[in-house]
Amino acid sequence: METYEFDVVIIGGGPAGCSCALYTSRSNLKTVILDKNPAVGALAITHKIANYPGVAGDVSGDELLAVMRKQAVDYGTDYRRAQVFGIDVDGPMKTVYTPEGTFKTKALVLATGAMGRTSSFKGESEFLGRGVSYCATCDGAFYRSREVAVVGLNQEAIEEAQVLTKFASTVHWITPRSLPKDDDHAQHLVSMENVKPWEKARLLSVEGDNGGVTGIEFKPRGEEPRILDVDGVFIYQSGSKPITDFIGSQVEFNADGGVRVDDMMRTSVDGVWGIGDIRNTPFKQAVVAAGDGCVAAMSIDRYINQRKSIRPDWNHS
């Protein structure tokens, strides 16, 4: 099996990984991105993205990601399709294992995102990005004056349903249990005119056609299943889960499963950074992930070159 040596190995080629690579390559650091499949990350499956600064109009996440990737490659990043199945972070040179070869690196960046939650409802994965969403902040504006359903009773579901009340004509809120009487936020939500709660109800399937979601089938406890006509379904069952299986316990994690980092995106292990959704950031957005990538790259530059302070790329004085 071939062994390759790099200054920087980035695992994951989403907005976090591509932004980081753009900066490290421009800093003349020999950089490789290893990505198992450029079509399966959170940005890649985003149907339309309208809130990435500087990108006007709706583009698909896939198109935006292709531009980010090309920009990094044009500055010298080596981009390889490879699924990482293990790492070894002991010592100054880190090791990354893939079926395509072994990679040795001075700086290792973990950027595999948070797509770990598997679709659990019939029709959920089929209509993901075509009416099924996990992000009201991202997609809420597409549902102006339309009916949507929010599924779940965790804090994320409550906050996201609140966001949807600004756009949707009706927010159907499907909750597996009764609404907690002592939760002010939940009670405020159900008091809103355009929120219709369906307590003690279970989502059975997401229905749709070539144009996307047309409705959901759900079952209120003790009643027959029923169909609701909605254009969008926002599912918050168990939250998204950072993809960290290849790391084992080699870096520290937060209680929510995100990789723990400091302000420079450094993990608990010297020479290892964590960026983007793998941190389980409270606001999972492409621009946040890209920002993380920039911070990590500048920190890596300093780490590798033993610089005394971070010098921004644009300061040529």
Ligand X SMILES: Cc1cc2nc3c(=O)[nH]c(=O)nc-3n(C[C@H](O)[C@H](O)[C@H](O)COP(=O)(O)OP(=O)(O)OC[C@H]3O[C@@H](n4cnc5c(N)ncnc54)[C@H](O)[C@@H]3O)c2cc1C
Residues at the interface with ligand X (CB under 6 A)? 11-17, 34-38, 40-46, 49, 51-52, 83-84, 111-113, 115, 129, 133-135, 138, 243, 246, 276-278, 284-287, 289
Helix ranges restricted to H, the chain: 15-26, 61-74, 136-139, 155-164, 184-190, 286-305
CB of 114 to ligand X, least distance (A): 7
Beta strands across the sheet bearing 232-235 = 132-133, 232-235, 147-151, 170-174, 195-198
Closest CA to 18 of 60, 77, 84, 62: 77
Identify which of 29, 197, 181 has the alpha carbon closest to the alpha carbon of residue 109.
29
Strands in the chain per DSSP E: 3-11, 31-35, 78-81, 86-88, 94-98, 101-110, 132-133, 147-151, 170-174, 195-198, 201-209, 212-220, 226-229, 232-235, 272-274
Identify the burial level of 145 via C-beta atoms within 10 angstroms of its C-beta, where 0-12 means exposed, 13-18 middle and 19 or more buried: exposed
Nearer to ligand X, 86 or 220 (CB): 86
**Cross-strand partners of 56:** none
Q: For residues 105 and 285, which CB has a smaller minimum distance to ligand X in the complex?
A: 285
Task: Decide if 273 contacts 300 (C-beta within 8 A).
Answer: yes
Least separation in angstroms between residue 290's CB and ligand X is 8
Q: Which residues contact 80 (CB under 8 A, 6 or more apart)?
A: 32, 33, 34, 35, 100
| Residues making up the chain, counted from first to last | 317
Minimum distance, C-beta of residue 103 to ligand X, in the bound complex (Å): 11
135 vs 201, beta carbon nearer ligand X: 135
Report the residue number, 113 or 271, with the smaller CB distance to ligand X.
Answer: 113
User: 162 vs 244, which CB is nearer to ligand X?
Assistant: 244
Nearer to ligand X, 51 or 187 (CB): 51
Least Cβ distance, residue 265 to ligand X (angstroms): 12
Whose Cβ is closer to ligand X: residue 283's or residue 314's? 283
Ramachandran quadrant class, 231 (left: phi over 0; alpha: psi -120 to 50; beta: rest)? alpha
Q: How far apart are CA 247 and CA 259, in angstroms?
A: 10
Write phi, then psi, for 202 (nearest 5 degrees).
-125, 130
- CB nearer to ligand X: pick between 201 and 230: 230
